[in-house]
Amino acid sequence: MDPVAAKYIGAGIAAIGMAGAAMGVGNIFGSFLSGALRNPSAAQSQFSNLIFGFAVTEALGIFSFLIALLLLFAV
């Protein structure tokens, strides 16, 4: 196979990993909203946990995105 084509295909495959992070981030905010609407008074105290969970989950998507970008531009 042409190495350049293989590089682009690899970048595309690596980008699929972001779908998992998308589901995770959606799950975090969805769960937070459903919990917050049940008990709005406790929502504010959990905001830092929300942001923390978001950052940790989002990082995994960023990893695959990084691999895709590095394949495109750095390899």
**Cβ 59 to another protein, closest distance in Å?**
4
Measured distance CA(7)–CA(13) in Å, rounded? 10
The reply on whether position 56 binds another protein by CB under 8 A is yes
Q: Which of 61, 66, 72, 2 is nearest to 26 (CA)?
A: 61
User: What character string, x for contact with another protein (CB under 8 A) and - otherwise, covers 26-55?
Assistant: -------------------------xx-xx
The reply on whether position 19 binds another protein by CB under 8 A is no
For residues 54 and 28, the answer to whether their CB atoms sit within 8 Å is yes
Q: Using CB under 8 A, which of 1, 5, 37, 74 touches another protein? A: 74
